Amino acid sequence: MKLFDGKYRPLDLMRHAGMFTWFCTTIPLFFIPFLRETPLPEVQYTAWWLLQLFFGLIYWQLARHLARSDAVPMRLVYLLLLSGSALAISAASESALGGILLLIVAGLLPWAVEPVLASAWLIFQNVLLAWIVSRIPTIEFTDAALTAGVFLGISLFVFVGSVATLRQNDARDQLRKMNSELRATQALLTENTRMAERLRIARELHDLVGHHLTALTLNLEVVTHLVDGKVLEHVQQARSLAKMLLADVREVVSDMRRGDQVDLGRALKTLVEGVPEPRIHLDLPSDLIMIDPHQAHILLRCVQEIITNSVRHANASNLWIRLSMSRDGVAMSARDDGRGVSRVQAGNGLRGMQERLTQLGGKLEVESQKGAGFTLHAWVPAEA
C-alpha cells in the first residue's frame, strides 16, 4: 500500500504517528509505581497523568488546526501548551520522558509557524529540557548533558525531515494547481480550435459552394428565356433544385455559425479540481455556454486570479464562486472566509482583472472587512 498515493495526506500521517508516540509514552505510567525504588509522591504521579492526557488532547487539536490557514494565533497557543506540558512531564516524572514528547512538537513546528521562529523554538525547548533534567536529583550532570544532546540531535533530525515533507507537500499541491490550470486552458484551446474549424468550413461552404450554386441558378434563369417546351420544363425544375440546394447550404452555414460556443463550465470545473486548499464551492448554471471565446478566456483567467489571491493573501479555508447568466450578460461573485482587510489595495492581480473586464465593457467591485474575508463581484455584457 502506498502511503502517499493521495489517499493519505502527510498531515494525517503525522497526526496518527504522533498519537501513537504519545500512547507509547503513556505506557510507563502503569508500571512506574512498581519499578521505582523510591515511589513518586502522589501529587507528582497525579500531575503526570493529567499532563499526559492534556498533551494528547492539545496535540490532536493542533494537528487538526494545521490544515486551517487562518488559525495561526491558535497554533502558537497550542504549541506553548504542548511544549510546556512536555517539559512539565519531565519535571513531574523526574525523567527525560518529556524529551520524547518534544520530538512530536519538533515535527509540528515547520507546519505551524515560520521557519525562523520554528528553529528558535526547537533550540529553546531543548535548552529548557536540559535544565530540567540536570536538576533531577537521581541524574548526574554529565548524564543530563548527554541526554539533552541526544534529544537535541534527534529533534533536529525530526525537524529537518518535517521541513522536507512540508516542501514536498507544497510542491505537489502547486503542481496539481498548475496541472489544473493547464488542463482548463487546454479545454478552452480545444473549444477554440473546434470553433475555428467550424467557422472555416462554414466560410468555405458559403464562399465556394454558395457562389457556384448562385452562378448556376442565374445561368439556369437565363436558359429559361432561351428554350421552350419540355426542355423549359426540365430547366425550370433544375433551377428550382439549385435554389433549394442553395437555401440548404445557407441554412447549414448558419447552423454551423450558431454552433460556435465554448463550454466554460467544463473548463472551470477542471480548473478547481486541482486546488487542495482552500476548499472551492463552485456554483454554475447547467448551460454555461459562451459564444465569444475571448470572453470565456477572460472569465477563466479571472476565476484563476481569484483562487490565487485566496491562496496567497486571504488565508481562507473556503472559497465560494458563483456564475449566473442573463440576457444582459454574465455575473460572477466570489467570497471567502479568510482574514480580510480593513482597506482593499488593488495589487497586480486585481488590476489585471479590472483591465481584462474593462476591455469587455464589464466592471469589477471588491469588498472586504477585517476578519470577514473578501467579496468580489464582476460582470461582463452579453456582447463584448
The backbone region for 130, taken as left when phi is positive above 0, alpha when psi lies in -120 to 50, beta otherwise, is: alpha
Query: Strands, E, within the chain: which ranges?
Result: 262-263, 279-283, 289-290, 318-325, 329-336, 363-368, 374-381
Reported pTM: 0.57
Q: Structural domain of residue 284, as residue ranges? A: 262-381
Kindly state whether residues 266 and 361 are assigned to the same domain.
Answer: yes
Does residue 303 belong to any structural domain of this protein?
Answer: yes
Q: What is the mean pLDDT of residues 106-111?
A: 86
Judgement on whether residues 242 and 123 belong to the same structural domain of the protein: no
DSSP label at 7?
Answer: S
- pLDDT for the residue 235: 67
Q: Answer whether residue 181 is part of any domain.
A: no
Residues in the chain, total? 384
- How many structural domains does the chain have? 3
Residue 379 and residue 329 in contact, taking contact as beta carbons nearer than 8 Å: yes
Strands 318-325 and 329-336: antiparallel
Pair (274, 319) in one structural domain: yes
pLDDT tens track for 255-271: 655 555 666 777 777 77
User: For residue range 153-186, what is the model confidence (pLDDT) as tens digits?
Assistant: 888 998 888 888 888 877 776 777 676 667 666 6
Judgement on whether residues 254 and 277 belong to the same structural domain of the protein: no
Q: Band of the pLDDT at 55, cuts 50, 70, 90?
A: very high
Mean pLDDT, residues 72-98: 85
310 falls within a domain: yes
- In a shared domain, residues 152 and 235: no
Mean pLDDT of the chain: 76
Q: Are residues 217 and 326 both part of a single domain?
A: no
> Which of the two residues, 143 and 236, has the higher pLDDT score?
143
Gyration radius of the chain over CA positions: 35
Asked whether residue 330 is domain-assigned, the answer is: yes
* Domain match, 205 and 348 both: no
The percentage of the chain sitting over the pLDDT mark of 70, rounded to a whole number, equals: 70
Residues 249 and 148 in one domain: no
Same domain flag for 130 and 270: no
**Residue 54 confidence (pLDDT):** 92
Same domain, 282 and 305: yes
Do 248 and 268 lie in one domain? The reply is no
For residue 381, the cross-strand partners are 329
Dihedral sign, CA of 215, 221, 222, 226? positive
In this structure, what are the phi and psi dihedrals at residue 29, rounded to the nearest 5 degrees? -60, -30
Q: What is the pLDDT of residue 383?
A: 61
Residue located via cell numbers 509514552: 25
Whether omega before 110 lies within 30 degrees of 0, making that bond cis, reads no
pLDDT tens digits along 341-370: 666 666 667 777 787 788 778 888 887 777
Of 217, 232, 258, which residue is a domain's last? 258
Q: What letter represents residue 235's amino acid?
A: V
